[in-house]
């Protein structure tokens, strides 16, 4: 695989690197995406399953949906793209992985400095007090999961109409504003505020790379666009980095 010399120069010289990942990298592991015509949202109404009001109206339906999704994710594994990002992280002292995905596959792969903008579907939190839980949730016996405070436990993901977690969002923009190399991988470049991060990086002088199966609104402003699967391209980048 041929890479522009300018990219290889930045790859080796950069000290501050940011990666943004979207549904595309997870799809390569078998996680259904929500924007495909055969994606999960095509069969369900998000307003019935992924909003605060939906949870208040029918928490059991919402939990059944998320437990179904948890089971789907449990049956898939990180792919070579996820694993390559673990290796890339080892080469830089200042490396930030920003993800829009909620499947937790980056953590399972071994990435460390991760900012999950939309939460993590395998975790739960209290709707009332905000306490977080990482144990299994079951609906056996007809009951719903509840917190020690008496509040209702919900999936720890960002629903439609909710704001992104402040710590993750501020950390993402802080990393973006100091990036020398920014890689956008498998994201549609349509969902804000994440979609603005590559543009911010470009404006401050970072070298911008996009890895995707299809062109996006970001493609035209990138310094380098790579058409293909992240599971094939990212391992090639690891080879260029060397030991």
Q: Annotated active-site positions, please?
A: 118
Contacts with 3 (C-beta within 8 Å, 6 or more apart), sequence order: 11, 224, 236, 237, 240
Buried/exposed code over 97-122 (b: 16+ C-beta within 10 A; e: otherwise): bbbbbbbbbbbebebeebbbbbbbbb
Residues 57, 63: Cα–Cα separation, whole Å:
12
Q: What angle do CA 203, 17, 179 make, to 5 degrees?
A: 25
Q: Within 10 Å of residue 130's Cβ, how many Cβ atoms?
A: 11
Residues 67, 119: Cα–Cα separation, whole Å:
15
């Amino acid at each position: 695989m041929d890479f522009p010399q300018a990219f290889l120069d930045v790859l080796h010289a950069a000290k501050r690197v940011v990666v943004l990942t979207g549904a595309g990298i997870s799809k390569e592991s078998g996680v259904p995406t929500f924007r495909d015509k055969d994606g999960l949202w095509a069969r369900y109404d998000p307003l019935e399953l992924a909003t605060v009001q939906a949870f208040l109206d029918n928490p059991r339906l919402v939990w059944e949906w998320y437990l179904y999704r948890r089971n789907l994710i449990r049956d898939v594994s990180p792919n070579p793209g996820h694993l390559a990002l673990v290796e890339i992280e080892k080469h830089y002292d200042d490396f930030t992985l920003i993800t829009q995905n909620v499947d937790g596959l980056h953590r399972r792969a071994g990435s460390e400095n991760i900012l999950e903008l939309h939460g993590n579907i395998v975790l739960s939190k209290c709707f009332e007090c905000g306490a977080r839980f990482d144990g299994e949730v079951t609906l056996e016996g007809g009951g719903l999961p509840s917190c020690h405070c008496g509040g209702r436990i919900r999936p720890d993901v960002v629903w439609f109409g909710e704001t992104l977690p402040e710590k993750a969002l501020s950390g993402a923009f802080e990393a973006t504003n100091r990036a020398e190399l920014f890689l956008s991988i498998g994201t549609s470049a349509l969902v804000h505020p994440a979609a603005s991060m590559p543009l911010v990086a470009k404006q401050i002088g970072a070298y911008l790379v996009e890895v995707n199966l299809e062109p996006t609104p970001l493609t035209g402003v990138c310094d380098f666009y790579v058409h293909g699967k992240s599971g094939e391209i990212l391992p090639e980048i690891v080879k260029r980095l060397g030991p």
